[in-house]
């Protein structure tokens, strides 16, 4: 048996009473589990509420060498969120981030620094009030683990090439940003979550910068598409 921490990515209904849930685990990367009868059970170890997007769990299971669906033996919530379930803007951010992570976290192998980043970031979101720019910095920071974090050399140059991830003196043929968006991107580079309130963005600039970051992901991750929850997130942060 293996005991490991895990973050829920998403769950889908299977038959009338069961769920298939996908988790990112600390010790084995992405893993999938069949939760038999969880939708109809009134008692037992498993609760549907445990498997909400980005919940942080401790799980026990017997790993299968050939992959495929597995079965959980024990589950407990290790970081019960206090504000995320109650704050509509935080809940929208979590749903959006969960969609992103579902697309980009595919490896069935351990990446402990990445897991620790996810764990600490989500706890920070839960504990702090101002969250309207959290998802912007989160996307930028996770790009480092995915291998395409912007090259932060030559920050004095006026253009950013989305294809190469570098700042340039002249605009490339395609895929560049300039002006205010470049200034905002430079501000995010090297910033930690405790500093995100210093980034002053109105509705339009926040939405535009988010679109640019998602476009950046599309250019560097094959098959990546913007999350379906994006319009909801933009609507919530309309002020």
Question: Residues 118-170: pLDDT tens digits?
Answer: 999 999 999 998 888 999 999 999 999 999 999 988 899 999 999 999 999 99
Chain centroid to Cα 161, Å, comes to 24
User: Residue 239 pLDDT more than 60?
Assistant: no
Q: Which CATH architecture has domain 2-77?
A: Beta Barrel (2.40)
CA torsion sign for 93, 197, 225, 10 is: negative
The helix/strand/coil state of 29 is strand
**Edge-to-edge strand order for the sheet containing 166-168?**
166-168, 159-161, 176-177
Where do the domains of the chain lie?
2-77, 88-236
Phi and psi at residue 46, to the nearest 5°: -95, 140
User: Rounded to a whole number, what is the largest CA-CA distance in the chain?
Assistant: 64
SS3 at position 89: helix
Cα angle 83, 53, 230; round to 5: 90
**Minimum mean pLDDT among 60-69, 110-119, 140-149, 217-226: which range?**
60-69
pLDDT of residue 92 exceeding 90, the answer is: yes
Confidence class of residue 42 from pLDDT cuts 50, 70 and 90? low
User: Please, are residues 199 and 184 in contact by the beta-carbon 8 Å criterion?
Assistant: yes
Domain 88-236: state its class.
Answer: mainly alpha
Neighbouring-strand partners of residue 6: 25, 57
């Amino acid at each position: 048996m293996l005991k490991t921490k895990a973050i829920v990515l998403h769950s889908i209904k299977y038959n009338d009473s069961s769920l298939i849930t996908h988790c990112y685990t600390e010790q084995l990367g992405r893993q999938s589990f069949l939760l038999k009868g969880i939708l109809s059970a009134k008692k037992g170890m498993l609760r549907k509420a445990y498997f909400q997007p980005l919940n942080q769990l401790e799980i026990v299971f017997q790993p299968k060498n050939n992959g495929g669906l597995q079965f959980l033996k024990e589950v407990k919530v290790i970081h019960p969120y206090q504000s995320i379930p109650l704050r509509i803007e935080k809940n929208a951010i979590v749903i959006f981030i969960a969609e992103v992570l579902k697309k980009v976290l595919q490896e069935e192998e351990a990446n402990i620094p990445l897991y620790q980043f996810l764990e600490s970031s989500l706890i920070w979101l839960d504990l702090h009030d101002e969250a309207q720019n959290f998802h912007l910095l989160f996307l930028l920071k996770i790009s480092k683990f995915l291998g395409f974090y912007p090259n932060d050399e030559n920050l004095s140059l006026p253009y950013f090439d989305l294809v190469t991830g570098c700042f340039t003196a002249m605009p490339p043929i395609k895929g560049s940003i300039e002006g205010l968006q470049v200034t905002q991107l430079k501000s995010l580079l090297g910033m930690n979550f405790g500093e995100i309130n210093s980034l002053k963005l109105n509705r339009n600039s926040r939405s535009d910068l988010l679109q640019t970051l998602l476009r950046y992901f599309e250019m560097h991750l094959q098959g990546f598409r913007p999350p379906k929850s994006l319009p909801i997130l933009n609507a919530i942060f309309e002020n």
